[in-house]
Amino acid sequence: MQPDPTTSDTERGPRQVVRLSPADNVVIALQALEAGDAPLGAPLPDAIPRGHKIAAAPIRAGENVIRYGQIIGQALTDIAPGAHVHVHNLGMGEHHQDYAHASASTALPAITDTRAFDGYHRADGGVGTRNYIGILTSVNCSGSVARFIAEAADRAGLLDAFPNVDGIVPIVHGTGCGMASDGEGYETLFRTLSGYAQHPNFGGILLIGLGCEVMQVADLVGGRPIRADGALRYMTIQTEGGTRRTIERGLDALRGIAAEANAATRAPAPVSALMVGMQCGGSDGYSGITANPALGYASDLLVRMGGTTILSETSEIYGAEHLLTRRAETVAVGQALIERVRWWEDYTARNGGEMDNNPSPGNKRGGLTTILEKSLGAVAKGGTAPLRGVYKFAERIDRKGFVFMDSPGFDPCSVTGQVASGANLIVFTTGRGSVSGYQPTPCIKLATNSEMYARMSDDMDLNCGDIVTDGVSIEAKGAELLEIMIRVASGGKTKSEELGFGGVEFVPWQIGAVM
C-alpha cells in the first residue's frame, strides 16, 4: 500500500491535511496549523505541528486509531474530531496480527533494461562501487595503531602513486575481547569482520590484532583465503614488537596492497550487481508518506532489474511484520522473519527493555507516537516485491531480490550489518536530519520534508518533501532516486562523502555479557 499524499482531505483546506487510507480515523497535517484553522470544516481547538495527527472523527477511549489503514494504537481517552492525536491520548494497547504467510506474494514483472554502472569487478564475482583499502581490527586494542598507520600513510603521501585507490579506511571498534569465545556474540562479530574483509568496495585489506584477544586473527584467517584476489595482509602488534614496528611493517604492507588495488579500474556492470541497504533514521510524520515509499518504489525498480535490496531494523518493523510475512516468497521465509521477531521479544525482555521503546524523542517531535505507527512507515521502504530471504546480522546475502537482514534499530549498527552482508550502496531516509556516512559504502541521504532539506541541504542528496509541496508523484521520485543510485555507484560523490563522514560509524552489534 502506497498512500497518495497529494490528495487533500477536503476542498476547504487544500494540502493542509491528508487522509492516507479511506479507513483512517486520523488525518496528517501537511503544514503547521493554528488554533481556529478549519482543514476539516470546523475550527481546530489547538495548534497542530506539521506531520502530526488530527482526529477526523470521534474516537472513543479504547478504540483503535487507524493510519495507513492499519492499527497504530488505542485511544487513552475520548478524542473529539479536530483534536491533536499524540502521546497524551494515544497508546500502544494490545495488537495481534494475522501473518498469513506467503498469501500475497506476487512476483513483479522483470524489466529487461540494459542499464549499467561503472564498478570494480572483483575476483569472487562481486562488484564494488568504491575502491578503498581497509585497515581492519580484530579488537579495540589495535584500533589506535590502525589509525596511526592510516595517518602515517597520509602524511607520507603513500597513495599519490596509486590514483585508482579511493583512500585508506581504518575500521576500528570497541569489542573483540572481554567476551565469550563462542555463542551469538562471538559469531555475530566474526561474521561482521569477515564480511568487511571480503567486501567488494575494498580493493585490499590489512588486518591487525593485538595478539592476546578473544577474536584471534588466526581464527579470522583460518588457513583459508578470505579474499579471492589474495589482497590481504595480517599481523599482530605483540608479534611485531610494539607500536612503532607495527606502524613501519603496516606501511610496507599497505604499499603492496595499494599496488594490487590500483590495478582495478571501473568497468561497466549490470545494475543487477547492486545491493542496496535501506535505512531510515530521525524519522518524522512524513517518513511514511514521502521518502520511504519513494525508496520503496526505487527498490521495486531495482529488484525488477535483477538487483538486491535489504530491509533491516527488526525492532522498527515490529507491529508491521504481518505486511512482510504476507509477501514472503514461501511460508518458510515468513516463519523465519517471525522467528527473528520472537527472538527480539525475548532479547528485550531479558534485558529489561520493551519492544515499544521507540519512537525516540525526535521521532515524537516529528509526529510519530507509537512503534506501530513508526514501523508501518518504515516498512514502506521495502516496496511491494516478494520477500525472498531472511538473514542474520552480517550474514552474507546469497540471493537476488528483496530480502531482510536482522538488526537493531540503531542506525550505525544496522548499516554495519548491511555492509558486512554485502551492501555496496546505502540509501538513508530522514525527517529530522540525520548526518552520517559508512565507508567503504557510499550513503545517499533522502529528506522527507522540504523544510529540513532547505535547512540541511549540505547533508541531503535528494528532497522527497516535494511529493507533498509540489505534487511530485512517488513513482517519479523513485525513478529519480534510481538514477542517483546509478550515478553514485559509478563514482559520483554523495554529500556525506564530500563532508568526510565514515570514520566512526563502524558499530558491530554487541550481544552478550562483557566479561
| Cis bond upstream, residue 39 (ω within 30) | no
Residue 505 lies in a domain: no
Residue 397 counted as domain residue: yes
Q: Is residue 117 part of a domain?
A: no
DSSP-derived secondary structure for 24-87? -SEEEESS-B-TT--TTSSPPSS-B-TT-EEESS-B-TTPEEEETTEEEEEESS-B-TT-EEST
Helix and strand totals (H; E) in the chain: 15, 21
CB–CB of 448/286 below 8 Å? yes
CA dihedral 292, 296, 298, 303 (to 10 degrees): 150
The verdict on residue 123 lying in a domain is no
**The pLDDT of residue 14:** 52
Taking the C-alpha atoms of residue 353 and residue 173, their distance in angstroms, rounded to an integer, is: 25
Q: Same domain for 84 and 179?
A: no
For residues 207 and 89, state if they share a domain: no
* Nearest Cα to Cα of residue 87 among 360, 291, 288: 360
88: domain CATH number is: 2.30.130.110
For residues 216 and 164, state if they share a domain: yes
> Looking at the structure, do residues 83 and 29 belong to the same domain, yes or no?
yes
pLDDT at residue 8, as a whole number: 38
**C-alpha closest to that of 491 among 165, 136, 115:** 165
User: Directed axis angle between helix 184-197 and helix 411-421, to 10°?
Assistant: 60
Same domain for 254 and 282, yes or no, is no
- Confidence at residue 113, expressed as pLDDT on a 0 to 100 scale: 78
In a domain, 514, yes or no: no
Secondary structure class of 203 (helix, strand, coil): strand
**pLDDT single digits (tens) 209-261:** 999 999 999 999 876 667 888 899 999 999 999 999 999 999 999 999 999 99
Which of 231, 263, 295 corresponds to the end of one domain? 263
Q: Do the Cβ atoms of 61 and 76 come closer than 8 Å?
A: yes
For residues 172 and 49, state if they share a domain. Answer: no
436 CB-near residues (< 8 Å, 6+ apart): 281, 411, 412, 415, 428, 443, 496, 501, 505
Q: What residue type is assigned to position 174 of the chain?
A: G
Query: Which CATH number do you get for residue 241?
Result: 3.40.50
Number of domain units in the chain: 3
The SS3 call for residue 141 is helix
Q: How distant, in Å, are the alpha carbons of 232, 256, 350, 374, 497 from that of 313?
A: 31, 38, 19, 12, 24
Backbone φ and ψ for 135, nearest 5 degrees, come out as -105, 100
**SS3 per-residue string spanning 216-231:** CHHHHHCCCCCCCCCC
Q: What are the angstrom distances between the C-alpha of 146 and each of 174, 175, 427, 472?
A: 13, 15, 28, 47
- Pinpoint the alpha helices (H) of 271-408: 291-304, 321-325, 331-350, 361-365, 371-379
Out of 49, 78, 95, a domain closes at 95
- Upstream peptide bond of 22 is cis (omega within 30 degrees of 0): no
Instruction: Note down the domain range covering 236.
Output: 132-263
Q: Which residues of the chain have a pLDDT value below 70?
A: 1-14, 95, 223-225, 357-358
Residues 258 and 300 in one domain: no
pLDDT at 297: 98
In this structure, the answer to whether residues 492 and 374 fall within a common structural domain is yes
H-assigned helices in 198-279:
217-221, 237-240, 243-262
- Strand 425-430 and strand 275-280: pairing? parallel
420's grid cell: 558486512
Closest CA to 485 of 345, 307, 293: 307
Residue range 81-118, pLDDT digits in tens: 999 999 999 998 776 789 999 999 999 999 987 899 99
> What is the reported pLDDT for 223?
65
Q: How far apart are CA 55 and CA 9, in angstroms?
A: 12
In a domain, 508, yes or no: no
User: Helix, strand, coil: what percent of the chain each, to 5?
Assistant: 35, 20, 50
Nearest to residue 165, comparing CAs of 275, 257, 269?
257
Q: How far apart are CA 94 and CA 91, in angstroms?
A: 10
User: Which residue, among 138, 132, 142, 127, has the nearest Cα to 192 in the 3D structure?
Assistant: 138
| Contact status, residue 205 vs residue 232, Cβ threshold 8 Å | yes
Asked whether residue 446 is assigned to any structural domain, the reply reads: yes
Residue pLDDT, tens place only, 148-201: 999 999 999 999 999 999 999 999 999 999 999 999 999 999 999 999 999 999
For residue 271, the 8-state DSSP code is G
The model's pTM: 0.94
- Residues 330, 464 within the same domain: yes
Question: CA–CA separation, 418 vs 390, rounded Å?
Answer: 12
Do 452 and 493 lie in one domain? The reply is: yes
> Is residue 270 a part of any domain in this protein?
no
Residues 11 and 70 reside in one and the same domain: yes
294 and 427 together in one domain: yes
**Among the three residues 215, 233, 263, which one is the final residue of a domain in this structure?**
263
